[in-house]
Amino acid sequence: MPELSKKGEDRMVRYRGQSLRLLQDAMDEIRGGRWARCEELLWGSLTLAVKGVALGRGKELDGLKAVEEYAKELGRENRDRRLREAFTKLASFGETAEQVSESRIRADHLVQTLEDVTGAVERLWDMAPGGDLLSQLLSDELEVYDPDEMDELEEMDGGFSR
């Protein structure tokens, strides 16, 4: 793996902090029954995790399509279904959430998608340099994010919401 510059390390920390914060916010939205908002947060968390792994491997990903393709590549490389299918599952999340809301059917499919995407994000951060997720959560690195800086997702074509 290539050695990250100080700027690269700072970006990695920012990606990780934003990704994990978005994932936590998604969980909070689920508890409040706000499935649509949860979907947006999951897109962002997953996107940043994939970009973090790519950065750690010396690759720059430009645009959501490149991020999705790289996630599939990582899934094949690691024989991990969650990584291969995460974006595909999220693509149908909103429609399923709407059906759950309108029909009052059980939310089993949404919960499974949530578990798969959460697992994919955790796996991705485990793959990234310094990837011990628990130590990252326990450290102060999550505080490094400067909200005045442009959010990485805002720079991407189409952002992270669908």
What residue spans define the domains of the chain? 8-134
Q: What is the CATH number of domain 8-134?
A: 1.20.120.330
Burial letters 63-85, b for 16+ CB under 10 A, else e? ebebbbebbbebbeeeebebbbb
**pLDDT at residue 103, as a whole number:** 76
With a cut of 50, say whether residue 58 has pLDDT above it.
Answer: yes
**What average pLDDT does this structure show over 51-55?**
95
Chain segment 8-43, per-residue pLDDT in tens: 888 989 999 999 999 999 989 888 878 778 999 999
Over residues 62-115, the pLDDT tens digits come to 999 999 999 999 999 999 999 999 999 999 888 888 877 777 667 777 888 889
pLDDT of 121 strictly over 90: yes
Residue 96's pLDDT is 81
pLDDT bracket for residue 131 (50, 70, 90): low
What pLDDT shows up at residue 141? 44
The pLDDT confidence band at residue 157, using thresholds 50, 70 and 90, is: very low
pLDDT, residue 101, reads 76
Alpha-helix runs per DSSP H in 57-132: 64-78, 81-91, 93-103, 108-127
Cα dihedral 138, 89, 32, 118 in deg (nearest 10): -10
Contact between 88 and 64 under an 8 Å Cβ cutoff? The reply is no
pLDDT of residue 132: 54
Q: For residues 74 and 55, is the Cβ–Cβ distance under 8 A?
A: no
